[in-house]
Amino acid sequence: MIKNIFIILLLSSAINAQSFNLVQHQSSITDTLGTEIIFYFSVINTSSSPLSFYVKRTENLIPEEWQSSLCFSSCFAPFVDSIVNNVTFNSGPLAPGDTASVSVHIFTMLAHGQATVSLRFGNVDNPLETVNSTVFAATSPTNIFDNADAADSYLLITNYPNPFNPETKVNFSIKEPGPVSLSVVSSDGTIYTVLEEEYRSAGNHIVNLNFGSLGLSSGIYFLKLQSGKFTSIRKAVFLK
C-alpha cells in the first residue's frame, strides 16, 4: 500500500514539473515616437522531450494609433493573438535543451502614449504549465512629429502597421523641399514605383500604400526613399 502511494505521488510530480524556462530580456522601454519597440524572450526546453509551446496575447492596452505583433522566426499580423511553434507558424517543436526566440513588436505612430501588453506562455500538451509576462512601452516627448511644419533632418520611419494587409502608412521627413522618390522593392529585386520625383515641401509626410492595388503577393519587401543625396531603406512585411 505504501509503495502504491509513493508511485502515485511521483507521477503527479512529473506531470506538474515545469518543462520550460522563460527568460524575459526587457520589461520596460521608452523611445521616440515613430519607432518600433521590440521586447525579446527566450523559451528554453528543460525537459527530455520535444516541446510544443504557445504564446497568447492576453492584454493589449495600446493607443488607438499603435499596433503590436507577435513574432517567432517571422512576425505575424497584428490581429493574430496566439502563436504556436508548429508548421502553421513556420516553426516546429523545440528539441530538449534548445532555446527559441520570441519577440513582441510595438509600433508607435502618430500620437504619444503608453502601452501594456501581457502574454501567456504555455506547454501545448500540459495546460497546467504556463508563465505570464507583461511589457510596458512608452514614447518620450522628443521626436520628429513634435513640429509638423518643419524637420531638421531626413528620415524614413518604419511603416505602420508592419506586418500589414493590404494597407500601410509610410512616414518620412525631408529637411529641404525637393523631388522625392518612393519605391517598393521585392526580395528578387523587382521595383514598384510609388512616387517618382514628386515635389514635396520640407517637413513631415505620410504616404498611404495599398499592396493589393499594386498586385503584390505576401512576402518581405523593402521601402526605398530617395530625396537629393538622401537614401533610406526599411523592411515591410505583407501578409494576406
pLDDT in tens, the chain (240 residues): 434 433 333 333 333 347 899 999 888 888 877 778 889 999 999 999 999 999 999 999 998 878 888 888 777 878 888 888 877 776 788 899 999 889 999 988 777 888 999 999 999 988 889 999 999 998 876 443 343 344 456 778 777 777 888 888 888 888 888 899 898 888 777 888 887 788 888 888 888 888 888 888 888 888 888 888 888 888 888 887
Q: What is the largest CA-CA distance in the chain?
A: 88
Regarding whether 180 and 130 lie in a shared domain, the answer is no
In a domain, 36, yes or no: yes
Regarding whether 202 and 103 lie in a shared domain, the answer is no
Phi (first) and psi of residue 235, to 5 degrees: -85, 140
C-alpha span between 185 and 120 (Å, rounded): 36
Domain boundary among 140, 175, 203: 140
Regarding whether 202 and 111 lie in a shared domain, the answer is no
Regarding whether 177 and 68 lie in a shared domain, the answer is no
C-alpha span between 108 and 186 (Å, rounded): 25
Regarding whether 83 and 34 lie in a shared domain, the answer is yes
Regarding whether 151 and 110 lie in a shared domain, the answer is no
In a domain, 194, yes or no: yes
| 3-class state of residue 15 by DSSP | helix
In a domain, 153, yes or no: yes
pTM: 0.57
Domain that holds residue 195: 147-238
C-alpha span between 52 and 152 (Å, rounded): 49
Regarding whether 125 and 94 lie in a shared domain, the answer is yes
